[in-house]
Structure 1
Amino acid sequence: MSDTPIDHIARATPEPVARRIRGLSDRTLAWIFVAPTIALLLAINIFPLVWTIRLSLTNYRANRTNSDIEWVGLRNYVRILTDSDIWLSMQVTAHFLIWTLIFQVFLGFALAYLINKKFKGNDLWTTIIVLPMMLSPAVVGNFWTFLYQPQIGLFNYVVAFFTGVDPSSFSMIGSVDLAPWSIVIVDTWMWTPFVMLICLAGLRSIPDYIYEAAAIDRASPWRQFWTITVPMVLPFLMLAVLFRGIENFKMFDMVTLLTGGGPGSVTELTSINLKREAFEKWRTGYASAYAIILFVTVFGLASIYVKALNKVKER
């Protein structure tokens, strides 16, 4: 009988080391393999979180490293929760989140439902549709900035056509009323394919025999859609909402490239506000408290949402 690779390894292992390994329990061996990963997680995730919590209780400023650090307790948290500008940025973020999720879920599911129907050119159209999500937010931001320019911007001319405004003097990203919607349009264009792919996976996981049984029972296509398709795809839709909600809550780069932080505060998301406090005003302790509040908010909402998702999956 030929030797296996395990036999070669066993013979190559020095006898003292082999005796020590044989004397270890399965639990100890498991901890030996898991320990490096745990140490890496502690170094990358847990330690920065603990350090941020510590800084949030002080008046520390990163641009004044030689100044004395004063322990202020919960004062930063109180100031944040009573700041009207912070609540305004929360409202802007909520507006952005709600509308992008509505559009992306609706359009993503509709595209997935159409693509799931086999037709000529199915693979080609699927590839074309998913192209936007393959681009980086920086590229997308710069690309759509040109589309929103007053002189050559396609969308400016479309809006101007319906409103009667001179296109050369009009800009969507410069309008207080339309600037938030310009961000919603770009994010929807970029990430609807992601939702479509998740919904497509859900649609293709539904066994054909369920539809066949429904057809034998003389269920109409509309009834099959509402009693079979929607309930079985709902967990996938909810998962897409969870992923996009978390990502959009911390949206920063694309919005900054599109609007430059303007006009006014109508496009100032919480992530942009946090960046301004941390790296423009250098209020590091204050920004750390702000970051902790955002983290607790996202973590709490996500935990509640995951519980709801698990209940839907158990049905």
Structure 2
Amino acid sequence: MTKTVVESLAEATPPRAASTIRGLSDRAIAWLFVGPTIALLLAINIFPLIWTIRLSFTNYRVNRPNADVSWVGLRNYERILNDPDIWMTMQATAHFLFWTIFFQVVIGFTLAWLINRKFKGNDLWTTLIVLPMMLSPAVVGNFWTFLYQPQIGLFNYLVAYVTGGSAASFSMISDVDLAPWAIVIVDTWMWTPFVMLICLAGLRSIPDSIYEAAECDRASAWRQFWTITIPMVLPFLMLAVLFRGIENFKMFDLVVQLTGGGPGSITELTSINLKREAFEKWRTGYSSAYAIILFVTVFGLASIYVKALNKVKER
């Protein structure tokens, strides 16, 4: 009878090596392969986090490495939580988060619902809608900065035409009232396709038999939408909100390209403010405490939201 591959390898393996291999359990072999990856991830993520926590209790400045470093306890945290400028950046971030997520969910779900209704050219329109999401944020920022230019920007001409003003002296990114909305428009244009794809996956996961049963019960299209479509797509919508909320909370490059945090500090998000504290003012201990507060905030809100998401999935 022909020998199997395992038997041939066993005969070719020295007795000591064979006994060593046979002595390893499946769990030990799994850890042998997974262990180095886990160790690398811990080194990349856990060590910097512990080091940042340690620095947050000191007055360390990275541009003065030889200066005396003293332990300040919770003073950095107290200064951050009592700083009105920090709360202004938090307010700007909350404004950006709320409106970008709101518009992206509403427009993204609407586009997904329209595309899900199969029509001629469906694939072409889906590809065209997804294109903005494939671009780099730096490219998108430069592109929209050109559109927002006061003299040659097409977008400003449209706004000036609607408001009756002069396009030559108008720019959304330099207007205190409109600059926050300028970055909301750009982020919505870029990331609505992402939300659309998630919603489209949710819509296409609904079995047609459910709608057929509802039609047999003479349920109207509006009733089917509210009693079937929305409840079954809700977990996907909540997942999209979670992804976009985490990403937009740490938004940096797009806003820097568009407004740089201006005019003044009206569009200075927490990520931009943190960068200035750490790498312009070189207050390393202070910025470390700032980073820990932001981390705890995002982690806490995300944990609560995930629990709510799990409850919705269990229904």
Q: After TM superposition, is the score higher than 0.5?
A: yes
Range moving further from structure 2, 156-165 or 230-239: 156-165
Structure 1: how far apart are the matches of 2:305 and 2:189? 25
Alignment partner of 1:56 is 2:56: yes
Q: State the match for 2:179 in structure 1.
A: 179
Give the CA deviation at 1:100: 0.3
Q: What does 1:114-263 correspond to in 2, within 5 Å?
A: 114-263=114-263
Query: CA 1:260–1:120 in structure 2 vs 1: closer, same or farther (change >3 Å)?
Result: same
Deviations 1:28-57 (A, max 9, x none): 223222211210111111111001101111
> Do the aligned partners of 2:150 and 2:156 also contact (CA within 8 Å) in 1?
yes
Deviations 1:144-174 (A, max 9, x none): 0000000111121111112222111111000
TM-score (norm 2): 0.97
Aligned length: 315
Structure 2: how far apart are the matches of 1:143 and 1:4? 63
> Do the aligned partners of 2:89 and 2:268 also contact (CA within 8 Å) in 1?
yes
Q: Which amino acid aligns with 2:201?
A: A
Task: Name the % identity.
Answer: 81
Structure 1: how far apart are the matches of 2:145 and 2:291? 29
Structure 1: how far apart are the matches of 2:152 and 2:267? 23
TM-score (norm 1): 0.97
Structure 2: how far apart are the matches of 1:12 and 1:201? 51
Query: CA 1:164–1:13 in structure 2 vs 1: closer, same or farther (change >3 Å)?
Result: farther
> Do the aligned partners of 2:92 and 2:267 also contact (CA within 8 Å) in 1?
yes
Residue segments in structure 2 that go unaligned for 5+ positions in a row: none
Q: Which amino acid aligns with 2:30?
A: A
Give the CA deviation at 1:5: 5.7
Deviations 1:71-123 (A, max 9, x none): 11111111000000000000000000000000000000000000001000000
Query: CA 1:19–1:114 in structure 2 vs 1: closer, same or farther (change >3 Å)?
Result: same
Query: CA 1:125–1:78 in structure 2 vs 1: closer, same or farther (change >3 Å)?
Result: same
Query: CA 1:30–1:211 in structure 2 vs 1: closer, same or farther (change >3 Å)?
Result: same
Q: State the match for 1:288 in structure 2.
A: 288
Structure 1: how far apart are the matches of 2:127 and 2:5? 43
Give the CA deviation at 1:6: 5.0
Residue segments in structure 1 that go unaligned for 5+ positions in a row: none
Structure 2: how far apart are the matches of 1:62 and 1:266? 28
Alignment partner of 1:268 is 2:268: yes
Structure 1: how far apart are the matches of 2:215 and 2:272? 53
Structure 2: how far apart are the matches of 1:246 and 1:12? 54
Structure 2: how far apart are the matches of 1:46 and 1:201? 34
For residue 312 of structure 2, give the secondary structure of its aligned residue in structure 1: helix
Supply the RMSD in Å over aligned alpha carbons.
1.4
Range moving further from structure 2, 19-28 or 227-236: 19-28
Structure 1: how far apart are the matches of 2:259 and 2:4? 63
Q: Which amino acid aligns with 2:192?
A: T
Q: State the match for 1:94 in structure 2.
A: 94
Q: State the match for 2:71 in structure 1.
A: 71
Query: CA 1:32–1:153 in structure 2 vs 1: closer, same or farther (change >3 Å)?
Result: same
Q: State the match for 2:303 in structure 1.
A: 303
